[in-house]
Structure 1
Amino acid sequence: MADRSPSTSDDDASDIRIDGSGGRPLGVHIATRLFGLGIVVFIGYLTRPLWHGFVYGTLYSPGLLVFGGGTALAAVALWLAPPFDSETTSEYSVGRVLREAENPVDVLLGLQGSPGRKIRLLVTAVVVLGAVSVLVSVPAGMFEQRTLAQQTMADATEVDEFPQANPDNPRVVPRQVADITTRGSVSYRQHRLGTSDIARTEEGSLAWSYAIQPDGFRNTLIEHQRGVLVTDMTRMDDRQIAVYEEDFVYGEGMLLHRSADWNLKKTDYFAKYDDDAVEFSHDGRPYMYYPKTGHEWHLTPFPHTTPTWDGGALVHPDGTIEHLSPEEARSNAILDGQRLYPLTITRDEMGSLGYRNGIINQLPVVGAHEGEIEIARLPSGADNAQPFVIDLEGQQMSYVTAMEPYGEDTRGLDEVWFADADTGEYRYFGTGDETLTGPERAMGIARSADSRTNWGENFVVTEPVPVTIDGDLWWHIKVTPIDFTDVTRNVFVNADTGRTIEIRDDDAVRSFIRGAVTEDDLDPVDGDDGDRDIVYYVLITDGDGNVIERIPVERGQDATIVGPSDERARDNATATTIGSRPS
């Protein structure tokens, strides 16, 4: 019997080439691979909003440029490269290769021969590029913070006194109270209220605004955003809720190509949309505005980028998206009075100020930390985040950031920064040798001013917001029940003296911020004084601000404050008053 040749073996039925070349000319191989790459690029282009974060990061992040860009180039180069060892593998059938291979699993996974070598090379490239990207990211991040701090300080103006707050637009209603009470006042079966944000109403007051967006998977695929809802944040009594219903072609809570996010990235790919939408109304129609962030490269002394304001996108209900430059956004009649500058850039700029005296100055071990500041920390339960959004005189929205000296145990304020929400221009007030009370201590003072309230179980203090009154900084804190269904009173703590004022009436809050508060403008402080005609309370506090004694003073009664006999107690005790009006 004649010997059977390899070409007539039992393996003929599985005679499938392992390597993809098959002896094709190099030109045909590259043309085929380019066609496959073109298909991938075409699909990627159609779905480009899905890859926006990676592509944008690769273009404007030094670390990701090394890793992502290098990986993409390596993958394309290996894909287009001809097979490394096609002559040794193309003559074998699958059955024979599986028998002779040291690791048959590698054959089935394509890790043997030319494909296997290419995959191993790609994995090696990814590991090396990952390590290099980390080495690049560390200095690039430091130089980014340094450059951003220098730019912020160069464009900022130091002021001698705090700008006056707008007394007509105090932040009386905290976010959680607004969310709970507003959702309890509306009824939608296929929609829900989205994340709350701050906008200006057509009447000029500040409000919490919401997108009325589809709820449930089926509805996110089919239904449209129904419009926007705004609820006044400047008063608790007779609070107005306005609904502007009109279906958005592209909106919030709508999936994929129907969403506003998808179409923003589709129409302006080289911008970031890190801020939440500002939902508002103009002439009775709902709109949404998305601040846009860009980046610019700095090649010296080490390649890095810094964020810049690239304007914003105005989304109309009919699907029109206007991409506006900063100048166009400020001059747009529909956006008049709304906040335009990105909060995320403000947060980045404020966070970079720790580097304003150099990179070495802020390093953990060798740094002197001279003049170093950081964003003041808020205690748990504050239900707030910096920068704070407040309204200044002339209906000028501003982002306020309280800065404290560097250090684990420092909580007093060192500087207070104000960013114009229209332009991003900065003003800041430096305390010099005097340190002001920070938000954490202010919340403690607000609790200690009323030791009779069952804090934590029935009531909480929440959402400290800085308010400037007659050149002084006050912390405006709200007292709410633990279910956040109401605001029982407003507490103002003077950041300089620690003086505490408690007010229940919306109009009295406005009078106090206006600087025209009198005894009759103030509500009574909680206590067990019955029907006594209490005008004000004298609070005796120690050096830490803890209330030692609470003395009620009736109408017509004179109060003389006599210092304690003990010299040390005299140095540490402070007398303050809390205004009151009889019930």
Structure 2
Amino acid sequence: MNERFGLRFADVDLQRHLGTRLAGFLVIVAVAYVVRPLLHGLVYQTLYSPFGLIVIGTTAVAATVLWFLPPLAGAPVDGMSTTVSPLLPASANQKLGLLVVVFTVGLLVGFVYSVPAGMVTERSLAQDTMGEADQIQEFPRVNAENPRIAPRAVADVQTRGSVSYRTHRLGPSDIARAEDGSLAWSYAIEPDGFRNKLLSNQRGVLLSDMTRMEDRQITAYDNQTFAIGEGMYLQRGAAWNLRTTDYFAQYFDDAVEFTHDGQAYMYYPKTTHEWRLTPIPHTVPVWDGGALLHTNGTIDLLSPEEAQASEILEGQRLYPLYNSRRQMASLGYRNGIINQLDIVGEHAGQVEVATLPAGAGNSQPFVIDLEGEQMSYVTAMEPYGEDTRGLDEVWFIDAATGDLRYFGSEGETLTGPERAMGIVRSEDSQTGWGDNFQVVEPIPVFINDELWWHSKVVPIDNTDISRSVFVSASSGEAVELGDTESVREFLAGGDVDAVDNVDTEPAPGEANVDYYIVITDSDGTVIERIPVEPGQEPSISYEPAGNASA
């Protein structure tokens, strides 16, 4: 019997023991390699997280050492009990007990270290964000031809109600650019049911126009089978293959489904983490390009520069939404760690992401299209404080390059999204808010260097869009518009009087009337109210009087 490091080892043929353990270790490594996508989260956390490195890393090293050590004989010299299970041999029981001790110590150390490491990570990310950002004095103009009109919930209800796939379903919706340049809600047409997820394939993608209130186009590219794709299990799925082809990366964002020259593709923005050693070791997320998935199963791993230069990806979202959220959330640390602490912090210049009320139907950052078909992630920031809801800054992250810009209000009080939704409801006391209709998806738009909040009024069942309402962040003025062309005219010029004001008005409780089309003059005086029966789909056009028929 040998004694080392306070442990008693049984007398065994050491060479034979090590050979047997090495063979077993290689079998474990081989199995782990085959199923490595299932272990990706643990491995990535070990390599790129201080907490994971301390807890998982030390436990894995200890387990490996204990695996190769000779069998233990009796209890440790100090008498410590390491019995874990009476079903295990004595030596295995003692080794497992030691492993539990190592894991517990590592867990405690990891929790303690992760607190300062997490704050240093946020501080580093905030410094990087501020260092890369340019302050602008004027708001960029929004793309008037690509307004975000159809809310996600309405698009989901209308789109899912317009297709019929017996063995397939539509996956989660996301925002992509259609081939005509418009923005669309995009979906993967993925297999439905256990058997189909195991054996069938994604059969293409579907795009639902988000830029119109009426006559919205839904285009299904459902005859293009993906060799690997969304909703497919194990080695046939996109997630599995992304991890096997690029193991040391994370794909936090959902796929961007789109078409180019009639061919369906999916793009996955990629995030990695880099270690920084000062002031204490920590990691920060960075953009590392993305993966372009072809229908034949080919995956192109692209650097940020290659993704931006790709003809196929022109106009699409390339930068990860995950990274943009992390950058914006870190800005509370830009004036230091101490400044943002609850008790001792001064909170000077501290900002936080503006609150969206429950039921808004969207989250920040907002994805909008600026002039020149430049997709951008927009985040509204409010001053720190439970009772502050006015805006302090508006941040823009280019969705193709990750370039940062921000507009500071310089003391001007700007209405935030929560207050803007309240103004929409207060402007119309006749509507049964919460019972029949609701205000959803406030989106920031920029008209003549002024910020407006573009909300939509929709039925509770999300089956249609009643009207669009714009609220000025500066004055609180509200403008209600009832058709797409009016919205585009307003976005293009911001002149309320110049917009042909044809609105719609709900008619709760009135038999055989779904809603009214309300025609007003430039002063808001009602000229005519036209009842629309359920099932009718009227279209509105404007003709000069000379062209009217007798």
With normalisation by structure 1, the TM-score equals 0.84
Counterpart Cα distance in 1 of 2:386 and 2:501: 38
Counterpart Cα distance in 2 of 1:416 and 1:298: 29
Helix, strand or coil for the counterpart of 2:26?
helix
Instruction: Confirm or deny that 1:230 pairs with 2:182.
Output: no
Q: Deviations over 1:73-126 (max 9, x none)?
A: 0111111111221799xxxxxxxxxxxxxx9x977411x632222111111111
Change (3 A) 1:242 1:81: same
Match of 2:172 in 1: 195
Match of 1:56 in 2: 44
Shift of 1:527: 9.3
The within-5 A match list for 1:436-447 is: 436-447=414-425
- Given candidates 441, 460, 469, the residue that maps to 1:491 is 469
Match of 1:129 in 2: 106
Change (3 A) 1:107 1:425: closer
The within-5 A match list for 1:161-310 is: 161-245=138-222, 246-310=224-288
- Given candidates 364, 369, 375, the residue that maps to 2:347 is 369
Counterpart Cα distance in 2 of 1:463 and 1:354: 25
Instruction: Confirm or deny that 1:24 pairs with 2:33.
Output: no
Q: Deviations over 1:137-178 (max 9, x none)?
A: 111100000000000000000001110000000000000000
Q: Is this contact kept in 1: 2:502–2:520, CA < 8 A?
A: no
Change (3 A) 1:146 1:106: closer
Long gaps (5+) in structure 1: 1-20, 89-102, 538-551, 556-580
Counterpart Cα distance in 2 of 1:490 and 1:269: 45
- Which one is further off, 489-498 or 519-528? 519-528
Which letter maps to 2:337?
I
Helix, strand or coil for the counterpart of 2:63?
helix
Q: Is this contact kept in 2: 1:502–1:525, CA < 8 A?
A: no
Which letter maps to 2:124?
T
Instruction: Confirm or deny that 1:523 pairs with 2:511.
Output: no
Identity of aligned residues (%): 59
Q: Which has the larger radius of gyration?
A: 1
Q: Is this contact kept in 1: 2:505–2:517, CA < 8 A?
A: no
The within-5 A match list for 1:47-196 is: 47-85=35-73, 108-110=86-88, 113-196=90-173
Long gaps (5+) in structure 2: 1-8, 508-515, 528-541, 543-550
Aligned residues: 505
Q: Deviations over 1:6-28 (max 9, x none)?
A: xxxxxxxxxxxxxxx98531111
- Given candidates 461, 465, 471, the residue that maps to 2:439 is 461
Q: Deviations over 1:532-568 (max 9, x none)?
A: 984256xxxxxxxxxxxxxx6478xxxxxxxxxxxxx
Helix, strand or coil for the counterpart of 1:521?
coil
Change (3 A) 1:395 1:372: same
Change (3 A) 1:123 1:415: same
Which letter maps to 1:383?
G
Shift of 1:236: 2.1
Shift of 1:459: 0.4
Counterpart Cα distance in 1 of 2:351 and 2:442: 20
Q: Is this contact kept in 1: 2:503–2:517, CA < 8 A?
A: no
Counterpart Cα distance in 2 of 1:520 and 1:118: 78
Instruction: Confirm or deny that 1:452 pairs with 2:440.
Output: no
Q: Is this contact kept in 1: 2:501–2:520, CA < 8 A?
A: no
Instruction: Confirm or deny that 1:342 pairs with 2:330.
Output: no
Change (3 A) 1:362 1:532: closer
Q: Deviations over 1:427-448 (max 9, x none)?
A: 1000011121000000000000
Match of 2:537 in 1: none
Match of 1:43 in 2: 31
Helix, strand or coil for the counterpart of 2:521?
strand
Q: Is this contact kept in 1: 2:144–2:489, CA < 8 A?
A: yes
Q: Is this contact kept in 2: 1:346–1:387, CA < 8 A?
A: yes
Shift of 1:519: 4.2
Q: Deviations over 1:305-328 (max 9, x none)?
A: 100000000000001000000000
Change (3 A) 1:71 1:198: same
Change (3 A) 1:531 1:206: closer
The within-5 A match list for 1:292-331 is: 292-331=270-309
Q: Deviations over 1:394-437 (max 9, x none)?
A: 00000000000000111110000000001101110000111210
Which letter maps to 2:521?
V
Match of 2:381 in 1: 403
Which letter maps to 2:327?
E
- Given candidates 509, 513, 521, the residue that maps to 1:535 is 521
Counterpart Cα distance in 2 of 1:109 and 1:300: 47
Q: Deviations over 1:52-86 (max 9, x none)?
A: 11101110001110000000001111111112217
Shift of 1:34: 1.2
Shift of 1:521: 2.0
Counterpart Cα distance in 2 of 1:347 and 1:355: 14
- Given candidates 458, 482, 502, the residue that maps to 2:480 is 502
Match of 1:11 in 2: none
Which letter maps to 1:156?
A
Match of 1:356 in 2: 334
Which letter maps to 1:209?
S
Q: Deviations over 1:475-520 (max 9, x none)?
A: 0000000000000100000001000000011011001000164445
Shift of 1:127: 0.6
Q: Is this contact kept in 2: 1:291–1:312, CA < 8 A?
A: yes
- Which one is further off, 508-517 or 211-220? 508-517
Counterpart Cα distance in 2 of 1:182 and 1:491: 23
- Given candidates 356, 359, 366, the residue that maps to 1:381 is 359
Counterpart Cα distance in 1 of 2:519 and 2:315: 44
Counterpart Cα distance in 2 of 1:531 and 1:236: 14
Counterpart Cα distance in 2 of 1:533 and 1:272: 52
Counterpart Cα distance in 1 of 2:245 and 2:484: 45
Change (3 A) 1:192 1:533: closer
Instruction: Confirm or deny that 1:435 pairs with 2:421.
Output: no
Change (3 A) 1:531 1:427: closer
Counterpart Cα distance in 2 of 1:282 and 1:24: 67
